Amino acid sequence: MLSALWNLSGHCPANREDICSVEGSLAFLVSTLTYRSPSKSAMVIESGGGILRNISSIVATN
């Protein structure tokens, strides 16, 4: 799910704005950066960080 959101946030400014407008979305995405996967996979961290990178311009200007 996070991978799909990462892709959506990378292709359209409106999608980035929509992500930022969801209450609690930024706190959730930041929390993914410290996720500890039982399988030691970094997929959640990578996807969360990618979304945050994509939406950072929206966050910075608002």
Instruction: State pLDDT tens for residues 32-47.
Output: 999 999 998 999 999 9
Around 49, how many Cα atoms within 13 Å sit in the side-chain half-sphere?
8
Instruction: State pLDDT tens for residues 2-56.
Output: 999 999 999 999 999 999 999 999 999 999 999 999 998 999 999 999 999 999 9
Phi, psi of 28 (to 5 degrees): -65, -45
Q: How confident is the model at residue 62 (pLDDT cuts 50, 70, 90)?
A: confident
Question: Which range marks the domain in which residue 7 is found?
Answer: 2-61
- What SS3 string covers 1-62? CHHHHHHHHHHCHHHHHHHHHCCCHHHHHHHHCCCCCCCCCCHHHHHHHHHHHHHHHHHHHC
Q: What is the pLDDT of residue 43?
A: 95
| Count of domains forming the chain | 1
pTM of structure = 0.91
